[in-house]
Amino acid sequence: MTSRLFAICFNATRPSDLARFWSGVLGWQSADGPDDDVAILPSEGAGFRIRFLPSQEPRTGRNRAHFDLTSSSPEDQLRTVARALELGGEHLDVGQLPEEEHVVLADPDGNEFCVIEAGNKFLADTGVIGALACDGTREVGYFWSEALRWPLVWDQDQETAIQSPDGGTKITWGGPPVAPKTGKNRLFFELALPADADPEAELARLVSLGATRTSTGEGHGDRVLLLDPDGNEFVVQRQRQA
């Protein structure tokens, strides 16, 4: 059986503080995790949780992925931005033009995210997290579509996007040029297998699609670390309770 997207994980210098920030911004509930981490759980059908894991690795450039948050109205966008700033976020200049209507912010750990203007048709009916927007090739979009068995909902000009058959957050890849990877990603996917699945068969399937098993010494026991075709880390949990 196919593994599912269990969590989007942040490597964080202060997991509890970052969880409080994102819980306040998104309105999701906090929960203790199994690995000295903190998680927040969706109040809507997002299909995944967000986990914050302790890490002291230094930041090495801009993240390869960020959240795009939706707005139901111009006033709602202003409220989201104000709430994020009150909770410890800050404005971020990434070269956006004055006429662009989205607002770029950073969370207290420096992770970028955008608050998208109301009326964005691509993010309609996706939920508060409209998209996880990633730097990546067309090939990696195809890989994740097959890996998660989520259909492609956009495939044009080297840009791709996938979405669960149940709806919710989209995952997008912007196509070339893709900036070189400068270190371990701060954001990564955690996949979970159903209890009755054959772990080795699923790992073999992911490798056949283009994943690579690492030789870094990580991934012992029930936690297996792999790389997708663009070199992004992701984890497969052999046994994970929902």
Model pLDDT for residues 209-219, shown as the tens digit of each residue: 999 998 654 54
pLDDT tens digits for range 35-82: 667 999 987 656 899 999 998 887 778 899 999 999 999 999 999 999
In this prediction the pTM is 0.93
User: Within a 10 A sphere around the Cβ of 142, how many other Cβ atoms?
Assistant: 18
As a whole number of angstroms, the distance between CA 99 and CA 205 comes to 45
As a whole number of angstroms, the distance between CA 100 and CA 197 comes to 46
As a whole number of angstroms, the distance between CA 109 and CA 129 comes to 19
Instruction: Please provide residue 51's backbone torsions phi and psi, each rounded to the nearest 5 degrees.
Output: -110, 145
Residue of 192, 211, 125 whose CA lies nearest to 163: 125
Tell me the residue type at 69: L
Instruction: Give me 229's structure tokens.
Output: 């075709």
Q: What share of the chain is helix, strand, coil (3-state, %, to 5)?
A: 20, 30, 50
Task: List beta partners, residue 224.
Answer: 236
